[in-house]
């Protein structure tokens, strides 16, 4: 497969993403640095770098806005070779809070890796549980009643409550030398939470289509990396476009655009011996800009090989 053919494949993928949907929104927690934490939405990427990994991400969305979403991801993963076949296993923890609602998830992940002529095909699945809760202490209720409000509305919980549900997801990626494409679907079981006798919530199926391309600049110390993510719950959609410059796989600076939502600035570096850190700032492009101080996201990853100290000395911040 020559470079021209690969470019055509990537262009076709990007065009299909752009014209695939209309409107925007997504249930799953937002992550501007999604290209460095693909485990959060695609189980096929678990231990994709053939190393042991510990990775975390914390996001404060719409800082300064009362009840603004706060999200946390933490994952550990490891490569496994069984009967000369490569696999990946891991576990990921998620916590997402927005207003009075919070959702936690613990998921086991598995990926099967199959070597092809021009790259690696990875297939994965995750199985776990989600817990959703509502805190009555976070609800701001009006005192008294009037024509439009009633303080004793039976639909409003008077105490904190929670419920648990089973969750399953699947994914696939194809990784070549200088590009990748991936597709995944989460919440196949449509988790439903009977929080109390008056409140029932559910999480619908969501799908993610991702792609990325790396171009080596005339000075081989620098690369130009482009990533794209299209996600949909089959009612609404969201599209992220990102590009960054990376030097010697040691540091990077980039910018992105979340269509009809935000402009994104991000950067990061490989601190030492496989320890990478990244930060992103989102500036809203909607009317929400007047009510918050932007969205802030901190990313941290440690990747290593057991018993191979020299191999740990140098580690790319780019995880595919």
| Domain boundaries of the chain, sorted by first residue | 3-140+159-312
Share of the chain above pLDDT 90, in %: 59
Q: Of the given ranges (99-103, 147-151, 218-222), which has the lowest mean pLDDT?
A: 147-151
pLDDT at 68: 83
**pLDDT value at 182 more than 80:** yes
Give the per-residue pLDDT at 157: 59
The model's confidence at residue 190, banded by pLDDT at 50, 70 and 90, is very high
Exposed (0-12), middle (13-18) or buried (19+): which is 260, by Cβ within 10 Å?
exposed
Q: What pLDDT shows up at residue 136?
A: 64
Q: State the distance between the two ends of the chain, measured CA to CA, in whole angstroms.
A: 20
Residue 20 has pLDDT above 70, yes or no: no
Q: Give the pLDDT score at 13.
A: 38
At the top level of CATH, which class does the domain 3-140+159-312 belong to? mainly beta
Question: Which pLDDT score is estimated for 244?
Answer: 97
pLDDT band at 25 (very low <50, low <70, confident <90, very high): very low
- Number of CB atoms found within 10 A of residue 12's CB: 11
Q: Which of 80-84, 108-112, 238-242 has the lowest mean pLDDT?
A: 80-84
Q: What is the pLDDT of residue 202?
A: 86
Per-residue pLDDT at 195 exceeds 80? no
Query: pLDDT class for 5, splitting at 50, 70, 90?
Result: very low
95 Cβ contact list (under 8 Å, min separation 6): 71, 72, 102, 103, 104, 105
Q: What is the pTM of this model?
A: 0.82
Over 60: is that where the pLDDT of 316 sits? no
The pLDDT of residue 161 is 79
Poorest-pLDDT segment among 174-178, 215-219, 309-313: 309-313
- Name the token pair of 124: 């994965």
* Residue 138 pLDDT level (bands cut at 50, 70, 90): low
Least reliable range by pLDDT among 42-51, 99-108, 274-283: 99-108
State the pLDDT at residue 10.
Answer: 41
């Amino acid at each position: 497969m020559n470079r021209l053919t690969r470019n055509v494949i990537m262009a076709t993928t990007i065009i299909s993403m752009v014209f695939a949907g209309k409107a925007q929104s997504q249930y799953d927690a937002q992550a501007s640095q999604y290209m460095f934490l693909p485990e959060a939405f695609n189980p096929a990427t678990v231990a994709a770098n053939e190393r042991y990994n510990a990775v975390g991400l914390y996001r404060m969305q719409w800082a300064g806005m009362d009840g603004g979403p706060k999200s946390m991801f933490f994952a550990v993963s490891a490569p496994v070779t069984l009967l000369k076949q490569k696999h990946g296993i891991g576990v990921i923890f998620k916590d997402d809070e927005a207003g009075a609602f919070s959702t936690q998830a613990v998921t086991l992940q598995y990926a099967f890796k199959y070597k092809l002529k021009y790259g690696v095909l990875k297939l994965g699945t995750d199985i776990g549980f989600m817990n959703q809760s509502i805190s009555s202490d976070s609800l701001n209720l009006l005192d008294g009643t009037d024509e439009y409000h009633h303080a004793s509305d039976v639909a409003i919980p008077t105490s904190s409550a929670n419920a648990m549900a089973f969750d399953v997801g699947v994914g696939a990626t194809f990784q070549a030398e200088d590009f990748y494409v991936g597709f995944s679907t989460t919440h196949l079981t449509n988790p439903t939470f009977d929080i109390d006798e008056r409140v029932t919530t559910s999480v619908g199926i969501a799908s993610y289509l991702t792609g990325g391309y790396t171009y080596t600049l005339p000075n081989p110390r620098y690369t130009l990396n482009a990533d794209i993510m299209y996600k949909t719950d089959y009612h609404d959609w969201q599209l992220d476009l990102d590009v960054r410059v990376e030097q010697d796989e040691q540091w990077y600076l980039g910018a992105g655009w979340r269509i009809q939502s935000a402009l994104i600035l991000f950067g990061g570096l490989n601190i030492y011996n496989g320890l990478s850190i990244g930060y992103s700032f989102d500036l809203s492009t909607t009317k929400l800009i007047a009510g918050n101080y932007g969205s802030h996201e901190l990313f941290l990853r440690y990747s290593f090989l057991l018993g191979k100290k020299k191999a740990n000395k140098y580690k790319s911040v780019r995880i595919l």
